Amino acid sequence: MSDSMMTVERFIAEQERLHPDATGTFTDVLLQLSLAAKIIARSVTKAGLVDIVGASGAKNVHGETVQKLDEYADDVIVEVVGKGGSVCGIVSEESERITTIPETYEAGPYVIAIDPLDGSSNIDVNISVGTIFSIHRKRSAGRDAQDSDALQPGAEQCAAGYVHYGSSTMMVFTTGAGVHAFTLDPSIGEFLLSHRNMKIPSPGKRIYSVNEGYTNKWTSGQQRLVERFRTGTGEEGSFSARYVGSMVADFHRTMLQGGIFMYPGTADAPRGKLRMLYEVAPMAMICEQAGGLASDGRNRILDIQPRELHERVPAYIGSPGLVELAERYLLED
Ligand code: AHM
Ligand code: MG
């Protein structure tokens, strides 16, 4: 079948057929996530048309103002995946605690971690946003998921992906066998295979992506690294700077064109801003599956054991040579 007619449903079913003992439950989680993505995409693209834009006034567990669409996206995933019979728990950037499944619904063997609408402060100015997800196998005993089921090193993730609500809506994911991207064809309401087996260009375009407004709060290693990129004085030559401020958009560009995306620690926030479970670990799995690297500046992200659901971690993700270069500079701190 030509890729242009390969729906995400069919692709996942074909992948599952390669595993004779598969029960279909894992496939169900991914399919439910793709349905939730379509429902969220419908609202995101209408955000300027209907009166659902703007802060709801509530604050999330990080003390940030919650946009209405964040809550909506969270509700959609909890409704579609949480009641779909294949997961026993959901951890979300939007909820302080794990959400378990009411007794009236079936609980399955997986736990998902979600950032339902990352970069949502960009909605008001019509900049791309995204959903980030990962799927973990339940390890604890009993029906309901425990925090420990989500608190597994990134290397244990069964799958990770993101949905990019940009000029088109794209779902990009890995189940540990390469990274594949599907673009939503709104005329038929289906995600169609658009990028099979994505590989991050290496060396790729020399692009660095970081919020330089924090320069004065960086460590000296981080400052010198960005100085090298900014002035083009290293052996790699000159660089371009690109920073949308919406991680899915910045990461997606990095996947397609190469470069390095960074969210370093600062004097005020030594662990940076991005969350291990909802943002960094899923992107790290995708990046490695595409031939890239992901580091906290010293350690491979996927090897780090998370201790808390909402913990943060500095992030250096992208083309291998540039992530290794960043690690060399940060070692000197
Ligand atoms: P959010 O989860 O509250 O939306 O914040 C995460 C976003 C990322 O998408 C992006 O990389 C980062 O915040 C940008 O932060 P900053 O404005 O500090 O550069
Ligand atoms: Mg986020």
pLDDT for the residue numbered 14: 87
Residue 220 Cβ inside 6 Å of ligand 1? The answer reads no
Rounded to 5 degrees, what angle do the CA atoms 9, 159, 164 make?
70
pLDDT for the residue numbered 52: 47
Determine the distance separating the centroid of ligand 2 and the alpha carbon of 271, expressed in angstroms: 15
Question: What would the pLDDT profile of 229-267 be if each residue is shown by its tens digit?
Answer: 999 999 999 999 999 999 999 999 999 999 999 999 999
- Ligand approaching nearest to the C-alpha of 261: 1
Residue 61 Cβ inside 6 Å of ligand 1? The answer reads no
CB-based contact 27:33 (threshold 8 Å): no
Shortest-distance atom of ligand 1 to CA 129: 9
Question: What would the pLDDT profile of 184-225 be if each residue is shown by its tens digit?
Answer: 999 999 999 999 999 999 888 899 999 999 999 999 999 999
Number of helical H runs and strand E runs in the chain: 8, 15
- At residue 67 the predicted structure's pLDDT band, cuts being 50, 70 and 90, is low
Residue 118 Cβ inside 6 Å of ligand 1? The answer reads yes
CB-based contact 28:9 (threshold 8 Å): no
What six digits make up the tokens of 127? 């900049």
Mutate to test the pocket of ligand 1, among 124, 131, 247 (most ligand atoms within 8 A of CB): 247
State how far the Cα of 250 lies from the Cα of 207, in Å rounded to an integer: 10
Residue 333 Cβ inside 6 Å of ligand 1? The answer reads no
Question: What would the pLDDT profile of 128-146 be if each residue is shown by its tens digit?
Answer: 999 999 999 999 999 999 9
Question: What would the pLDDT profile of 74-86 be if each residue is shown by its tens digit?
Answer: 999 999 999 999 9
Give the pTM. Answer: 0.94
Determine the distance separating the centroid of ligand 2 and the alpha carbon of 40, expressed in angstroms: 15
Sign for the pseudo-dihedral over CA of 26, 30, 35, 39: positive
Mutate to test the pocket of ligand 1, among 210, 273, 283, 313 (most ligand atoms within 8 A of CB): 273
**What is the DSSP code (8-state) at residue 325?**
H
The residue whose CA has the least distance to atom 2 of ligand 1 is 118
How does the average pLDDT of the chain come out, rounded?
93
Determine the distance separating the centroid of ligand 2 and the alpha carbon of 26, expressed in angstroms: 24
Residue 180 DSSP SS3: strand
Residue 73 Cβ inside 6 Å of ligand 1? The answer reads no
Distances (CA, A) of 243 to 121, 165, 167, 282: 15, 17, 17, 20
Question: What would the pLDDT profile of 5-23 be if each residue is shown by its tens digit?
Answer: 899 999 998 888 877 777 8
State how far the Cα of 190 lies from the Cα of 281, in Å rounded to an integer: 27
pLDDT for the residue numbered 145: 97
- At residue 303 the predicted structure's pLDDT band, cuts being 50, 70 and 90, is very high
Residue 209 Cβ inside 6 Å of ligand 1? The answer reads no
**Please, what are the domains in the chain?**
3-195 (3.30.540.10), 207-330 (3.40.190.80)
Determine the distance separating the centroid of ligand 2 and the alpha carbon of 129, expressed in angstroms: 10
pLDDT for the residue numbered 22: 75
Determine the distance separating the centroid of ligand 1 and the alpha carbon of 118, expressed in angstroms: 7
